[in-house]
Amino acid sequence: MELFSLTKPQKSICSMEQYYGGSVANITDSLLFEAPVEVQALQGVLNKTLEQCDSLRIRIQMQDGVPMQYISPFAPCMFDVVGFANQAAFDSWIAKLARTPFDLNGSLFKIYIFTLNGQVGIALHLHHLTADAWTLNLLANTIVQNLKGEASSQGSYTDYLIEEQAYECSTRRAKDKAYFMSCFEKCSEPVYLSDKQVTNAEANRLSITIDMAASQEIQAFCDDSGLSPYALFMNALAIYLYRVKGAQDMFIGTTVLNRAGYQAKNTPGLFINTVPALMHIDETASALENLHQNTDGISGLFRHQKYQYNDLLIDIRPYDPAIARRVCSEGELRLLSEVADPSRLFCRMWVARESYAKCWDVA
């Protein structure tokens, strides 16, 4: 049995769980099949998926008081089957499941087969140490491919763990650090949306849906202008900060996949990182010129996305502790695409004050 140190994204999850406790590190989702599926066949499919996706088999072992991880050997499971009379009963059950914490001394995943209104589905209950949002899509695709008998290929999380160890002492890491430190030399003053002090971890979300016609119009504008929807929404938030706070330079925290290349993008597990994007609004330039200028900066950001958020806080703390506490916490933007309809824009904009967060979903 080979033991590995936790990656830095995993260490961040552990710290969050130790501080807040409860179910804060849970990821819970469900998948309902439209086509008829035999429960017994699904048992075999899920076992094949579990064998293919080694991050689900991560186990934690303490060594001298420090959490370490290893990949447990595959062993076939019998997954629980639960039935629900209606949607309300299912919603109540899965909400309770999402709040159920894991015992770090045992398995860090739980998969259920459920029946609802004559259909069969799967409920995934995962600890964040084993998965991120991208992983949910990978698992869903793998399960469907296995159901259809199609070939599927997943990378090994063990390979990623080895690569992470090599990165820590690489020249690439030094270059990534230099990039972010040069950004802070250009903008050393934090920009706050609110001066209100909040001391709890409560979060609220306001969801707004943009209709299909507007989504297509936004996408068409981006295609014509050589931009991505992600860059467009980042600039929209920067313009808002400029108008309400008068700041021409500001950082916007953004969640990144931290998955470079085909192999990483096809490997289930926890990779995600949060990085600060330096945005600049030039008063003498047009809106489109500002868009292109900041898009170039965002491209640079993605080239250095592997550098970890916690390391960045340590780097800048000697210069200004206040900035270290607040960078990436004042604003965060995420852009996703709905699995059901990739043509729809799904933008998630977080505005945070330390541990407080408010989120707008724009679909």
Residues of the chain predicted below pLDDT 70: 188, 194-208, 319-363
pLDDT in tens, 37-47: 999 999 999 99
Please name which of 183, 312, 307 lies closest in space to residue 249, comparing C-alpha atoms. 183
> What pLDDT is attached to residue 201?
56
> What pLDDT is attached to residue 339?
31
> What pLDDT is attached to residue 205?
61
pLDDT in tens, 340-363: 333 333 333 333 333 223 333 332
> What pLDDT is attached to residue 350?
36
> What pLDDT is attached to residue 333?
46
> What pLDDT is attached to residue 115?
96
pLDDT in tens, 93-106: 999 999 999 999 99
Please name which of 157, 347, 340 lies closest in space to residue 264, comparing C-alpha atoms. 157
User: How is residue 73 annotated by DSSP?
Assistant: P
This prediction's pTM: 0.81
Q: How far apart are CA 122 and CA 54, in angstroms?
A: 19
> What pLDDT is attached to residue 94?
95
Contact 347, 335 (CB under 8 A): yes
Contact 98, 66 (CB under 8 A): no
pLDDT in tens, 146-185: 999 998 889 999 999 999 999 999 999 999 999 999 988 8
Which domains does the chain carry?
4-160 (3.30.559.10), 187-362 (3.30.559.30)
Phi-psi region of 291 (alpha: psi -120 to 50; beta: other; left: phi over 0): alpha
